[in-house]
Amino acid sequence: MATWSAPGKVFLFGEHAVVYGKPGVAMAIRPRVSVTVRKSRNPSHARSPYIEECFRSTGVQGSVYIRSQLPSSSGLGSSAAVTAATLAAISDEFGLGFSRDEIARRAHEIERKVQKGRASPTDTYVTTFGGIVLITGDSKRRLPPQNLNLVIGNTLVSHSTAKMVEHVARGRERTPEIVDPILEAIGAVTMRAVKSLNKPQPLGRCMDINHALLDALGVGHPELSKLVLTARAAGAFGAKITGAGGGGCMVALCPKNAKSRVAGAIDATGARSIITTLDTEGIRREKNG
């Protein structure tokens, strides 16, 4: 029996623009997903297509048990975390000797297959390696770790990443002279933010600008706007949509002593808050039990 866990992720900067080769910054966060795999000739039927694909692609049979505090379908990378943790646990239980690179690569392939081609390698890379990652095209670079106090607000409004990506693509076809400069500006904000990662006030301002640009792309939602304004009013340095938008989650950067206040203000609107910070470990072996 082998148990491995993997963290969730947030996009700090650059979502949507990364689809067009601009830089983006994502970060591994708590909470984690944990997966136990046990050799078994009579495997329990996997509940998730991601897990089924992990077993099919490695050609082994086993039973699997998942514990997760990460809400699914909210843009916090739960499918990537489940896939990476399952591959790591399979490799451990069956002695396949996968490296982290191999796990990240296989996890991305599985996401692409299950999501029918619509998966960037961001989630699988970030959950496998942990840390803060700068993504530009195919290149990924881990940035120095920072102690960022984040509060996530989940609107509980369901959304589809594929639809939002499509929405931006259609806008770009219709009015490239407007949409392209917005994507360009998001890239510029991201690069500015990379230089300010250890300065919470300028970093918060970059988040606010990035949020406005995402709104201009048309991936906002009234509930997201409400939570962003709520977080700022409760003392956040800055706040923005995180991930595809149209629902899902926002993220706020907070002074340490304002985290609970921001989280409470988000919860008071009927949304769900998560107080979180950086996870630097990525996939990790856990004690069985």
Which residues contribute to the annotated binding site? 71-81
> Does residue number 244 form part of the binding site for ligand PMV (CB under 6 A)?
yes
Nearer to ligand PMV, 19 or 114 (CB): 19
**Piece of 11-19, 150-158, 176-184, 224-232 that binds ligand PMV (CB under 6 A):** 11-19
Nearer to ligand PMV, 11 or 50 (CB): 11
Beta bridge partners of 65: 36
> Does residue number 183 form part of the binding site for ligand PMV (CB under 6 A)?
no
Nearer to ligand PMV, 34 or 122 (CB): 122
101 a catalytic residue: no
Minimal distance, residue 45 CB to ligand PMV, in Å = 27
What 3-state DSSP class applies to 169?
Answer: helix
Q: d(Cα 101, Cα 123) in Å, to the nearest integer?
A: 14
**From 123, 208, 215, 279, the catalytic residue:** 123
Which residue reads 């739960």 in tokens? 78
Minimal distance, residue 10 CB to ligand PMV, in Å = 8
Q: Binding site membership for ATP: which residues? A: 71-81
Strands (E) across 15-111 are located at 24-39, 62-68
Residues 13-72 that bind ligand PMV (CB under 6 A): 15-16, 18-19
Go through 250-265 and write b for each residue having 16 or more CB atoms within 10 A of its CB, e for each that does not: bbbbbeeebbebbbeb
Looking at residue 48, what DSSP letter applies?
S
Q: d(Cα 203, Cα 150) in Å, to the nearest integer?
A: 12
Which phi and psi (to 5°) does residue 253 adopt? -95, 125
Size of the site for ligand PMV (CB under 6 A): 14
**Which of 7, 62, 75, 130 is the binder for ligand PMV (CB under 6 A)?**
75
Residue whose beta carbon is closest to ligand PMV: 243
Query: In sequence order, what DSSP letters do the residues of 226-281 get, joined into one string?
Result: HHHHHHHHTT-SEEEEESS-SSSEEEEE--GGGHHHHHHHHHHTT-EEEEE-B---
Q: What amino acid positions are annotated as catalytic residues? A: 123
Q: Which residues bind ligand PMV (CB under 6 A)?
A: 11, 15-16, 18-19, 75, 120, 122, 161, 164-165, 243-244, 248
